[in-house]
Amino acid sequence: MRMDVSVIICTLNRAPHLRETLRSLAVTHVPSDLDVELVVVNNGSTDETASVIDAYSPEGWTVRRVEEPQPGLSRAGNSGIAASKGDILLFTDDDVRVPDEWIGPMVAPILQGEAEAVAGGVRLADRLRREWMTTAHTMLLADTEVLHESGGKRLIGANMAVTRQVFDVISGFDPALGPGRDSLGFHGETLVSLQLQRAGFRLAMALDVRVEHHPQADRIRYAAYADTMAKQGRSDAYLDHHWRHAPGTRARSLAALAVWTAALGTYRLWPPRRRAATDEGMALQEMTIRRRIAYHRQMLRIHGTPRRYDRLGHQRRGEELNPDDRYRSGELPATNEHPLPVT
């Protein structure tokens, strides 16, 4: 059977969220001239995920349930790509609600020959929005308003379409990046964005085609922001070292780490700033400091290690990414390739 579009969702122990995502898929419009399938990758769930997939998948769609026991969103995404049959791969997350008109508008630039990849929009659900939030806060929850403001061009995993041809060239997501127990946490789609554009593929922005993101409520707590900035800093370092071939030195990172560590101590002491882990939010200044600290700590770990990508952006032969490696990374929505310049 011909299959034009494969909708791919990766999930791990989020059955209640997945159920609502599948319900929204069940009522989204499928263009009559397209054959669409659903590929759900179960990344080692121990809850009711399997039964939710069976009970709530859209009627009339071909459904493929894929088991990927190795942890990590990037590995799960690669398994979804391998199992899918569509010429266009349309990705979303297990905690979003897609609009009534989603599939057609997201794949239109590809079908019209204007692009090989499309970045859709993401809006943070209203129940999680707070008056103190800036786009620097909401982008950490995949909201794409920051891309509207900056004109940046990058894929967001919660809403993106990519032709199979692209993944034939760049060979999928880097398992060192993206969320996961053994991964660095961010920059999974960022690296794909950089790779496909360097390879000559066209990336179209369709930010007006928005899904609604419903992350867990604890994602806006102080402790969560601290964890996020640590992951972002480590992920920045991975991209700088392995992809951009940054010429930094251990001496430079040691000096910078000392400066930023001192800055964090000063920031927290004057005036006294004591935050409980369950408090909401984090000041932009502290976010920046924590990200720099994590960046230079990671750079100290990876200075002198072989680059995983050559200067043309190709992964080096034989460089299988080992789950035990301590240098991994990932990213959240960014205004450009490197949203916070590192010093």
Structure confidence at residue 223 (pLDDT)? 96
Q: Output the tens digit of pLDDT for each of the chain's 343 residues.
A: 567 999 999 999 999 999 999 999 999 999 999 999 999 999 999 999 999 999 999 999 999 999 999 999 999 999 999 999 999 999 999 999 999 999 999 999 999 999 999 999 999 999 999 999 999 999 999 999 999 888 999 999 999 999 999 999 998 999 999 999 999 999 999 999 999 999 999 999 999 999 999 999 999 999 999 999 999 999 999 999 999 999 889 999 999 999 999 999 999 887 888 899 999 999 999 999 999 999 999 999 999 999 999 866 666 544 433 322 322 222 323 323 333 333 3
Domain that holds residue 59: 5-218
Token look-up 């008109």 returns 101
Cα separations in angstroms, 26 against 9, 53, 122, 218, 284: 14, 12, 19, 28, 39
Is 310 part of a structural domain of the chain? no
Is 320 part of a structural domain of the chain? no
Structure confidence at residue 33 (pLDDT)? 93
Structure confidence at residue 340 (pLDDT)? 37
96-97 and 88-92: which strand pairing? Answer: unpaired
CA 270 to chain centroid, in Å, comes to 35
Structure confidence at residue 335 (pLDDT)? 29
Is 302 part of a structural domain of the chain? no
The three-state secondary structure class of 305 is coil
The three-state secondary structure class of 77 is helix
Is 342 part of a structural domain of the chain? no
> Token digits for 242?
């392995």
Cα separations in angstroms, 227 against 81, 127, 232: 29, 22, 9
Is 133 part of a structural domain of the chain? yes
Is 325 part of a structural domain of the chain? no
Is 228 part of a structural domain of the chain? no
- Structurally, the chain folds into a number of domains equal to 1
Is the peptide bond prior to 99 cis by the omega test (within 30 degrees of 0)?
no
Is 210 part of a structural domain of the chain? yes
Structure confidence at residue 316 (pLDDT)? 59
Which CATH number goes with the domain that contains 213?
A: 3.90.550.10
